[in-house]
Chains A and B, each alone.
Chain A
Amino acid sequence: MEGLIVSNVLLWVLLVAVAFAVMGLVRQIGVLHGRLAPAGALMMDKGVAVNEAAPQVTASDRKGRPVNFGYAGEKSQLLFFLSPTCPICKSLLPAIKSIAKEQADRLDVVFISDGDMDAQQKLITEHKLEDATYVVGPEVGMTYQIGKLPYAALIDKTGTLRAKGLVNSREHLDSLFEVEHLKSATLQEYLNSQPHAHDHSHGHSH
């Protein structure tokens, strides 16, 4: 009788633990769903085509220095289009800055914005962007036909537009570099081409 009671207590304790683990797993799946959707930066079917020469334009940054876009150079360029009035843009700034720092040897990050100079100045001091290349003006955005913010475009060393898209999270930003690496225009396109590309030398199994 004693043994049965002990076994019963033990079973209840373990059952509570298992139920707790199941609940935890379900919660984690929920969090994953929140982080996953939508997969990859959303690409609008307009403007400049990916994997073709990026349009060449020169604009001056807020200190008056000229910045070239779309020309061949020593480093790739990441164009980040933002606005002081867009909260998601601000929430992405830390991610952009960390990418700029991590890949400083091969990537120039350019912040492109438009509108009220006081608001720009406030954003720059708030997010410590004093040393960053920061262009204020409509030219670049109009050339690249940016309709939605925050938007990012990646131009490689040869002046070819490698990836572009609406970016709402760090995952979207990373997906831009991923598609550059995979030589597909968008992550969606890469996934769709997968059945024909089994001999792909990179071991990316998504």
Chain B
Amino acid sequence: MNTALFVIYGVLLLGVTGVAEYRGWSWSRINQQRVLPKSIRDNPGAYRSSYGGYSRYIGGK
């Protein structure tokens, strides 16, 4: 790769990094839901999380 291409690549990379930081991008798995009834605040148990119902091996170390 010649220097000019490397500079373009580097500047693009820095640009994407800057946008990612500014917009607050993240690697985390986050599930977004657009519509949620206000009643959740009064009855939190009624909400079903996408990640709820966790089951885990509990044999211990």
Task: Judge: A and B partners, yes or no.
Answer: no
Binding site for A on B (CB under 8 A): none
